[in-house]
Structure 1
Amino acid sequence: MSSTHKEHLQLRVQSIRYAAKDTYLVELTQPQGQTLPSVTPGSHIDLHLPNGITRSYSLVQSGDNPESYVVGVKLDAKSRGGSRYVHEQLRVGSVLPVSQPRNHFPLVEDAPHSVLIAGGIGITPIWCMAQRLQAIGASWEIWYSVRSRADMAFIPQLQALGDRVHLHFDDEAGSPMNLPAIAAAAPANAHFYCCGPAPMLDAYEAAASARVPAEQVHLERFASKQVAAVDGGFVISLARSGKELTVPQGASVLKVLLENGINVDSSCQEGICGCCEVVVLDGEVDHRDAILTDSEKAANKTMMVCCSGAKSSRLVLDL
């Protein structure tokens, strides 16, 4: 059976701590005490849960060879079994297969100024970035919005950083955070970062993109804006395994691969985590993910097989 994943880490749940309403911090360590692969700000890992579900979570801390990984997990009212399992069944001492860290939301550390914007559980990668920027003495500011004080994580740590930190509580303010005003007040050469719910991200993109080049506007989504490609009717040729497979209407490339014994890691099924990214050797992809930039999509070098399809009649994949 072919596989695209690097060797998974086998990590122990060292602790589960309360961070905010419906939000836990889960700490993972090597059972034998070894250090872990290095983490850059904006990275996430996949937890392969005992109920058979794989979910991606952003890391709260970055660094070289850390002793532990910490992820924030918010209980989703519409949970399909990932966050609910973590909140209700995961126990300290459990050992889980965990992916190597991946980063589709990287921090530009030498930017003249960074504007960090978070909504709800979107604080996890944003707080990771803030800690790194503080550590290297960079110029930055953070804007963090939640519905109420009970929903806010890391309050003491954030408040300790002074007036560069701006905390917004919707119920107290009586309105959402003013993203156009935040964007307008920032330096023209600033880089913007945002992670949060879809309405916030849409407003953020409109506010930030109106005044700075697209390459200075960064974001990470919890859900894709696009519908997955399921038109089918094309062939995928697998260069390494020598297989030729037809993707029928109503099926994803990922589904066809798995049904034919090609073991591709997958998690979100929406093109937002990057878990199922595959190298494309030939053909034109119908990109439906929320990860690749416009230039990366135009280059057709990789695709997220959970949601993307083909514009050409044939795709050659490095599998």
Structure 2
Amino acid sequence: MSATTQDEGVLDLVIESMTVEAEGVLGLTLVDPGGGWLPEWTPGSHIDLGMLDVVRQYSLCGDPDDRLRYRVAVLREPKSRGGSDYVHRSMRPGEPVEVGGPRNHFPLNPAKEYVFVAGGIGITPILPMIRQAGQHGTPWRLVYGGRSRRSMAFLRSLRQYGDQVQVCPEEETGRLDLDALLPAYDDGLAVYCCGPGGLIDAVESRCAAWPSDAVNFERFVAKDISALPSLPVRVRCARSQLTLDVPAGESILLALELAGVDVANACRDGVCGSCEVPVLGGVPDHRDSIRSGAELTDTTSMAVCVSRAKSDELVLDI
């Protein structure tokens, strides 16, 4: 039996349990109220969690082989826009919750060896990755940074991996010394990094000379694109037979919605990938926080919430 679904693949789940994983971090276990199986997922996947009038994305941190439950962990952000604060303040076991996804824009690709770098709550997508690497017999190690041991989630469960995990609380060891912690590039080595924007930028800079497919990131907060130019663009919708002139400063997603074209979306910030649309013509200017490296030259799809065009016209398969 499969879980109950709504339109657009939204699942009606309930909170089975909540656990304190660290100072300011709550773990949520979500299940189908009827005991049904949940959609499959792979390491690096996230789900959309619906809370009142907001939707937020959280990485799945449980076991992909467990089809009966999803596990996520939520950090209470000091400057919460409503999502994390609501989880910590109001959500309780037994409460129903709408869940979208899962989607994976941070897949674990085959490699000869992995180095995982996690900062704070960025440990969540890494947990199923190290489990899969171990199952496949692939050598790996994890560098895990945070403010303090008190604030770093899942330290107890990580003990089983011994010296494969290097725990680096800032109050004990200072900021991560990436030059010392990351090796020189070797053929077949892959780095996977998730955490604060500053950490991701530092790893990206440290590995700038590496092949683009050897360095992989997931951002929880959208990149700042406010300084990028926003020029007008013409958008042709092939299936809807509409042509829209999107003015400067207006998102393509908003223009599509105003014209009555329904596009799935959740974050509207370029983080979740739910508004990804196939591109039939033109050259997208990718401004989302999902793509990196060679993916920035992809012309087959785009996130219409934040991306624009390098050509005068885009043809979308919608």
TM-score for the superposition, normalised by structure 2: 0.91
Q: Which residue of 2 aligns with 1:8?
A: 10
Q: Which residue of 1 aligns with 2:216?
A: 218
Q: Does 1:135 align with 2:135?
A: yes
Q: Deviations over 1:161-215 (max 9, x none)?
A: 1111110110112x211111122267553211100111111111122334x3221
Q: CA deviation at 1:274?
A: 1.0
Pairing of 1:239-318 with structure 2 (within 5 A): 239-318=238-317
8 Å Cα contact 2:232-2:246 kept in structure 1: yes
Q: CA deviation at 1:65?
A: 5.9
Q: Which residue of 1 aligns with 2:19?
A: 17
Q: Secondary structure at the match of 1:254?
A: helix
Q: Secondary structure at the match of 1:288?
A: coil
What's the Cα RMSD here?
1.9
Q: Which residue of 2 aligns with 1:67?
A: 68
Matched AA of 1:80? R
Moved more, 309-318 or 40-49: 309-318
Matched AA of 1:17? T
Q: Which residue of 1 aligns with 2:108?
A: 107
Query: Matches of 1:134 and 1:299 in 2, distance apart?
Result: 32
Query: Matches of 2:56 and 2:235 in 1, distance apart?
Result: 26
Q: Deviations over 1:248-294 (max 9, x none)?
A: 22211111222233332323332122121111111121211122244
Equivalences, count:
311
8 Å Cα contact 1:48-1:98 kept in structure 2: yes
Q: CA deviation at 1:157?
A: 1.1
Q: Secondary structure at the match of 1:100?
A: strand
Matched AA of 1:32? G
Pairing of 1:181-220 with structure 2 (within 5 A): 181-184=180-183, 187-210=186-209, 212-220=210-218
Q: Which residue of 1 aligns with 2:4?
A: none
Query: Matches of 1:154 and 1:21 in 2, distance apart?
Result: 11
Relative to structure 1, the CA distance from residue 187 to residue 281 in structure 2 (aligned partners, 3 Å threshold; closer, same or farther) is closer
Pairing of 1:87-98 with structure 2 (within 5 A): 87-98=88-99
Q: Does 1:76 align with 2:77?
A: yes
Q: CA deviation at 1:298?
A: 2.1
8 Å Cα contact 1:284-1:300 kept in structure 2: yes
Q: Does 1:160 align with 2:160?
A: yes
Query: Matches of 1:310 and 1:213 in 2, distance apart?
Result: 26
Matched AA of 2:45? S
Query: Matches of 1:90 and 1:105 in 2, distance apart?
Result: 28
8 Å Cα contact 2:64-2:128 kept in structure 1: no
8 Å Cα contact 1:41-1:106 kept in structure 2: yes
8 Å Cα contact 1:54-1:266 kept in structure 2: no
Q: Deviations over 1:60-105 (max 9, x none)?
A: 0242461100111111111111111111122222222212211111
Query: Matches of 2:33 and 2:75 in 1, distance apart?
Result: 25
% identical aligned pairs? 41
Moved more, 289-298 or 84-93: 289-298
Q: CA deviation at 1:133?
A: 1.6
Query: Matches of 2:93 and 2:204 in 1, distance apart?
Result: 39
Relative to structure 1, the CA distance from residue 244 to residue 186 in structure 2 (aligned partners, 3 Å threshold; closer, same or farther) is closer
Q: Which residue of 2 aligns with 1:32?
A: 34
Q: Which residue of 2 aligns with 1:231?
A: 230
Query: Matches of 1:188 and 1:255 in 2, distance apart?
Result: 44
8 Å Cα contact 1:62-1:132 kept in structure 2: no
Matched AA of 1:23? V
8 Å Cα contact 2:278-2:301 kept in structure 1: yes
Q: CA deviation at 1:59?
A: 0.4
Of structures 1 and 2, the one with the larger relative CO (CA 8 A, separation 6+) is: 1
8 Å Cα contact 2:17-2:30 kept in structure 1: yes
Matched AA of 2:218? E
Matched AA of 1:242? Q
8 Å Cα contact 1:37-1:65 kept in structure 2: no
TM-score for the superposition, normalised by structure 1: 0.91
Query: Matches of 2:66 and 2:188 in 1, distance apart?
Result: 32
8 Å Cα contact 1:54-1:267 kept in structure 2: yes
Alignment gaps of 5+ in structure 2:
1-6
Q: Secondary structure at the match of 1:206?
A: helix
